[in-house]
Amino acid sequence: MKIAVFVSGGGTNLQAIIDNTKNGILQDVEITLVLSSSKDAYALERAANNGIKTAVVSKKDFASLEEWDETMVAEVEKSGAELVVLAGYLSLLGPEFVGKYSNRIINIHPALIPSFCGAGMYGIRPHQAALAKGVKVSGATVHFVNENYDDGPILLQKAVDVLPDDTPETLQKRIMKECEWQILPQAIRLIADGKVIIENNICYVR
Ligand code: GAR
C-alpha cells in the first residue's frame, strides 16, 4: 500500500513509520510522499535522509483557501497514495481534500479522545491539560479525519498511567514512546490488511 504522511514538526511519528517500513510491521508499505505545512519541519530532513519525496504546502502561501485545498489534493493524487496519515500535522484540512479522501485519512492525537482534543489542543497542550485536570491515565488515539478537529471515528487507543511526579514533558515523552509510535504503525497495518470497517460513524476492526 502506498501512503502519504503529513507533518508539521519534528517527525518522530514519521520516523516510527519509516522504521516499520524497513524492519517492522510495514515492510509492504511505501511512503510515496511526506508533505509538510512548514518548510522548517525537521520531519523533512528525516524524509530526505530516507530518500522519500517531500513537498511543502503552506496555507499562508496561497491567495485563497480553495487554491490551497486544490493543491493539497493534487499533491496526493500525484503521489498515488491510497491512505493519508497525519503524523503531527497541525493544519485543519480543507473540505475538498476531506471529501475526496473520505475514510482514507487518519490522525494521531496525543490524548484519549474525547478528552483534551479539538482546536488548539496540540503538541504539549493536551498533556498540560491532562495534568491540570488530574487524570490518572492518558494516552493516544488514532482516528479517521473529518472536517472538524479530532472528531472522526476512533480506530485505536492506547493508555498509560499518569505518574505522581509527571511534568507535561515526561508525560508527552512516555505517551509518544509507549503509545503513539506503537499504534500509528499498527493502524496503518490494519488498514493495509483491509480489516477496518466504518459503519454509522463507528470504526470496527474485523
Ligand atoms: C505528536 O505528539 C502528535 O501526536 C501531536 O504532535 C506531536 C508531533 O510529534 N499531534 C497533535 O497534537 C495533533 N492534534 P512528531 O512531529 O515528533 O511526530
1 Cα: distance to centroid of ligand 1 (angstroms): 23
Residue 85: predicted pLDDT: 99
DSSP H/E element including 144: strand 137-144
Per-residue confidence (pLDDT) for residue 108, from 0 to 100: 98
What tens digit of pLDDT does each residue of 27-56 get?
A: 999 999 999 999 999 999 999 999 999 999
Pocket of ligand 1, candidates 93, 108, 116: which has the most ligand atoms within 8 Å of its Cβ, to mutate? Answer: 108
Residue 71 banded pLDDT, cuts 50, 70, 90: very high
To 10 degrees, what angle do helices 168-175 and 125-133 make? Answer: 110
Task: Tell me which residues are annotated as active site.
Answer: 109
C-alpha to C-alpha distance for 28 and 19, rounded to whole angstroms = 12
| 138 vs 116: CA distance, rounded Å | 10
Kindly report whether the global pTM for this prediction surpasses the value 0.85.
Answer: yes
